[in-house]
């Protein structure tokens, strides 16, 4: 798939392992963590290295000790500067029985495309 040219910033492709849409510049899929091509730097660290983390939010929810099961959907929405929704995805669904809980972590990692 390589053409010998540098990838355009923001250009995407499909991970052959998990079928997630990922950045073309990624050596390791951020979703399934599989290696996508040989990269000596990526071999040292299991995760792709972010330049910085722009956002990290963690929250938990728990079903009370009694009552009927709850169902939940975890939805991520991305908006541009004009407030227009550019992407919306359901990233998880499930159910909670009495006294069960879940913790959800959202992170936005910013990458500098590698120089070619």
* Interval 39-71: pLDDT, tens: 666 554 444 466 788 999 999 999 999 999 999
**Predicted pLDDT at 8:** 72
Note if the pTM is more than 0.85. Answer: no
The series of mean pLDDT values per 10 residues for the chain, 116 residues long, is 55 88 83 76 54 92 94 93 94 92 93 68
Domain match, 63 and 97 both: yes
Domain match, 44 and 56 both: no
Domain with 59, as residue range(s), is: 50-116
Instruction: Measure CA 57 to chain center.
Output: 13
Domain match, 1 and 32 both: yes
Domain match, 95 and 66 both: yes
Domain match, 82 and 112 both: yes
Contact at 8 Å (CB) between 16 and 104? no
**Predicted pLDDT at 2:** 44
Strand-strand pairing, 85-96 and 21-23:
unpaired
Domain match, 67 and 105 both: yes
**Predicted pLDDT at 46:** 46
Q: Name the domain count of the chain.
A: 2
């Amino acid at each position: 798939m390589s053409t010998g040219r540098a990838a355009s910033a923001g250009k995407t492709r499909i991970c052959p392992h998990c079928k997630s849409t990922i950045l073309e510049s990624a050596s390791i899929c951020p979703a399934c963590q599989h290696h996508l091509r040989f990269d000596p730097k990526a071999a040292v660290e299991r995760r792709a290295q972010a330049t910085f983390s722009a956002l990290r939010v963690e929250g938990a929810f728990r079903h009370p000790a009694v009552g009927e099961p709850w169902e939940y959907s975890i939805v991520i929405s991305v908006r541009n500067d004009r407030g227009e929704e550019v992407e919306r995805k359901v990233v998880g669904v499930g159910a909670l029985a009495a006294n069960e809980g879940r913790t959800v972590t959202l992170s936005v990692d910013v990458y500098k495309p590698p120089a070619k």
